[in-house]
Amino acid sequence: MSIPADIASLISDKYKSAFDNGNLKFIQTETTKTKDPKTSMPYLISHMPSLIEKPERGQTPEGEDPLGKPEEELTVIPEFGGADNKAYKLLLNKFPVIPEHTLLVTNEYQHQTDALTPTDLLTAYKLLCALDNEESDKRHMVFYNSGPASGSSLDHKHLQILQMPEKFVTFQDRLCNGKEHFLPTFNTEPLQDAKVSFAHFVLPMPESEETVDEDLLAMCYISILQRALTFFQDWLNENPELKKSYNLMLTKEWICVVPRSKAFSDEMKIGFNSTGYCGMILTKNDEVFSKITEKPELINDILLECGFPNTSGQKPNEYNY
Ligand code: B4P
């Protein structure tokens, strides 16, 4: 696994030049921190002004693969990782809301609905290890939006890497605080915060980086993904249009999967990808921004509308709806 030791400065330097030369469009947002008084779930609401020049959310246009032929100005590393050290490229996000937001993209075309491989997971984890910096309190999160209801808009397989906002404690951080790593068994379910509305499956990661390898990551991912996928079998009668979709989030401290039923709430005019399910909410409509900042409890309802009901306290064979 060869991630350059100076990866953090490679990303910073590329970001500075792409920003200065107009190769990427940083989207300035107004941000507000708030908390749901009922669930205690912390939110960071970022509001994107209207009339932003960015392609609308949707599927990849027929015959186009912007991540397959990326701009040189956005390419931090063209080839690295995997057995041949050529499996991935690291790109800057062309439309970031948070500076230095990067994408880990497969060099060979794979689809965004494909499962993550052990190598995808280990490469992502190693990137987190190389970028997190305890001295400066820098933390990062990797996420994967998979399936039509997950909030993903580009079909070429890509994971995303974001620096977490400073001093932002997610509900997953609280849930895992002080807990040791474990793998779920028939008797031990993944962690789920009973207070939040939506189903989610979380495992604390081992404290020591050295114990994290492809096998461990794959076992964590498969065990929580399996639980997320049961919802699609159980709900198919009720909604035959349901397509397997989920958000995966990985930090050095925890891994989380959230099954998704919808990308967007038409009534509330707001959509979410993985970032929403750790409390980072992006709004593009002034009215929606005012509504949810005045009444953050609403977010819990919309996250449920776009996910599935929380199953905390139930065993997998009891998810019977
Ligand atoms: P997808 O997984 O397909 O979709 P997404 O992240 O949900 O972004 P999308 O574009 O659908 O959503 P939104 O407007 O809400 O990822 C595709 C990624 O590739 C996107 O990040 C996109 O920007 C990027 N991209 C598209 N064309 C590209 C190109 N030619 N070269 C390089 N990159 C390209 O999100 C707007 C932006 O904010 C996105 O960057 C999103 O990741 C980010 N974001 C959303 N919610 C956020 C939050 N709460 N906090 C911080 N960032 C957030």
- Ligand 1 surroundings by CB, under 6 angstroms: 46, 57, 66, 70, 74, 91, 93-98, 101, 103, 145, 151-154, 160, 273, 275, 280-282
d(CA 223, CA 309): 19
Mutate which of 34, 44, 100, 154 for ligand 1 pocket (most atoms within 8 A of beta carbon): 154
Dist. CA 45 → ligand 1 center (Å)? 16
Residues belonging to the binding site for substrate are: 54, 93-94, 145, 151-154, 160, 273-275, 280, 284
Spatial strand order of the sheet with 30-35 comes to 30-35, 42-47, 280-283
Dist. CA 95 → ligand 1 center (Å)? 6
The candidate with the shortest Cα–Cα distance to 246, out of 129, 164, 109, 144, is 144
Atom 23 (ligand 1) nearest CA: 95
Judge whether 27 and 48 are in contact, CB under 8 Å. Answer: yes
pLDDT of residue 264: 94
pLDDT by residue, tens only, the chain of 321 residues: 689 999 999 999 999 999 999 999 999 999 999 999 999 999 999 999 765 555 555 555 667 899 998 899 999 999 999 999 999 999 999 999 999 999 999 999 999 999 999 999 999 999 999 999 888 889 999 999 999 999 999 999 999 999 999 999 999 999 999 999 999 998 899 999 999 999 999 999 999 999 999 999 999 999 999 999 999 988 887 888 889 999 999 999 999 999 999 999 988 889 999 999 999 999 988 999 999 999 999 999 999 999 999 999 887 665 543
pLDDT of residue 281: 97
| Active-site entry in 140, 158, 181, 200 | 158
DSSP states along 29-74: -EEEEEE-TTT--EEEEEEPPSS--SPPSSSPPTT--TTTS--GGG
pLDDT of residue 320: 42
Alpha helices in the chain (DSSP H): 7-20, 118-131, 171-176, 214-234, 286-294, 297-305
Write out the E strands in 110-253.
140-146, 158-163, 201-204, 246-250
Tell me if residue 158 is catalytic: yes
The candidate with the shortest Cα–Cα distance to 306, out of 155, 194, 195, 148, is 148
Q: Quote the ipTM score.
A: 0.91
Show the domains of the chain with their CATH numbers.
Answer: 4-28+73-233+243-261 (3.30.428.70)
Question: Hey, is 202 helix, strand or coil?
Answer: strand
Q: Which single residue is written with the structure tokens 């989920």?
A: 246
Dist. CA 224 → ligand 1 center (Å)? 24
Residues belonging to the binding site are: 54, 93-94, 145, 151-154, 160, 273-275, 280, 284
Q: Give the pTM.
A: 0.94
pLDDT of residue 124: 98
